[in-house]
Each structure stands twice: as structure tokens, then as C-alpha cells.
A = this chain, B = another copy of it.
């Protein structure tokens, strides 16, 4: 059975990763499993355990850390956030494509570990920095200085897009979802061709008895 892809969706904060992800998850043809992160921070009222995050204690997080159970993890404000390895690897093995929605720093760490044709890294770009600024402001949760610093961070993150397989400009979620789907399907086709020996991929090593 063909293994699934690890599909990394990243891009600056405010670019619309969450909206796109929810749209993509509804498309059954993409056969996507969403990688749910684990965190030690308290659950917020609207959040669901197992859907938004797996909410665990620091002790549980620590146990998983010790057994090398995360693809990547980070400490932020005395809380821990991680991407559980087992979910990703089991689903990929079972032929499902795993969608990882992750910030640019986290994506960089994942890409270092998961290379090759079964990983597809997609960078989501705002139509313009003005548009990104508008979207960040729409959230309305931050001070003017914080917004400016966030925009500056986004600019630096934008410079990392060349590390990705594809950059998509997020004009509208519908168009972006369509192009996203094409990218996934193209990559699946490519993997199939390599597996059949119709193409060669430098990272693909046939494992046969």
C-alpha cells in the first residue's frame, strides 16, 4: 500500500492558515488527517480536547518527550506545545495524507526531519503586506506596537518561503484550496510514478526483500 504524504501548511500569522485548513479538511478526496498538537496550556472555553489540541499535564508532556514522541516541540510562556509523532506516522503508514498546520519556526524544524518526496511543504503568502496588516488588525487583540512587531516578524518569515516546495498567495480561500489540492495531487502522482520506476527521485530508496 502506498504511504500517505506529510503536508505542511505554514506561513505568517494572520495569513489565513486556519480558514484554509478547515476548508481543506472538508474535501474528502484529499484524504487528509489533521495532526492535532499537544499542549500543557489550559483549555479555553470553546476549545475541544482532541480536536483543537490534546490538553495534557506537564508530566504527561514530559513522559512523551522522554520517549522521543514529538516531531517538534517548543516551550512558550511556561507552556509546552508539540506535534505527536505517533499520529503522523501511523496515518501516513495507513495511506492517509497528514495535514500539519504550523508556524514558520515549527515548520522549519519539521522539514529538517522529514525530507523527500513524501513531504510536501506549502507556504501561504498574503496578497500583500498591506493586506496582511489589515488581517492582523481585524483580530483587534493587540496594541499598535505589537501589530508592528508582528508585521516585522511576518516579513522575516516571508523570506523563508524559498525553503518550501510551493508558495501560494492566498487571494481567496476557495482559489487557494483548489491550488492546494492540485499541489497534493501532483505530488501523489509523482510519488506513484517514482514507485513504479517511471521516474527517479534522489530521495527514494526502494525497500524490497
In the complex formed, the residue of B with least CB distance to A79 is B77
Within 8 A of B (CB), among A62-77: 62, 65-66, 75-77
Q: Mark A141-155, 1 if CB is under 8 A from B, else 0.
A: 001111011001100
Q: Write the chain B residue with the least CB distance to A152.
A: B65
Closest-by-CB residue of B relative to A58 is: B145
CB of A80 within 8 A of chain B?
yes
Supposing A145-B62, A152-B66 touch, asked if A77 and B80 sit within 8 A by C-beta, the answer is no
Give residues in A with beta carbon < 8 Å to B. 57-59, 61-62, 65-66, 75-78, 80, 143-146, 148-149, 152-153
B77 x A145 contact (CB < 8 A): no
User: Are the C-beta atoms of B75 and A153 separated by less than 8 Å?
Assistant: yes
Q: Are A148 and B62 in contact (CB under 8 A)?
A: yes
Minimal Cβ-Cβ distance residue in B for A72: B156
A-B contact pairs, 11 of them (CB 8 A): A57-B145, A58-B145, A58-B149, A59-B144, A65-B148, A65-B149, A66-B148, A75-B149, A76-B76, A77-B77, A78-B146
Bound together, the chains give a CA A143 to CA B61 distance in angstroms of: 13
In the assembled complex, the CB of A129 is this many whole angstroms from the nearest CB of chain B, namely 12
Q: Which 8 pairs, one residue from A and one from B, show the smallest C-beta to C-beta distance?
A: A58-B145, A77-B77, A62-B148, A65-B152, A59-B145, A62-B145, A62-B149, A65-B149
Residue of B nearest to A145 (CB): B58
The docked-state distance in angstroms from the alpha carbon of A152 to that of B59 is 13
- Cβ of A58: which chain B residues have Cβ within 8 Å of it? 143, 145-146, 149
Q: How far is the CA of A121 from the CA of B61 in the complex (A)?
A: 32
Distance between A90 CB and nearest chain B CB, rounded to angstroms: 23
Chain B residues within an 8 Å CB radius of A76: 76-77
Question: In angstroms, how far is the closest chain B Cβ from the Cβ of A180?
Answer: 28
Distance, CA A57 to CA B146, complexed state (A)? 11
Least CB distance, A151 to chain B, in whole angstroms = 9
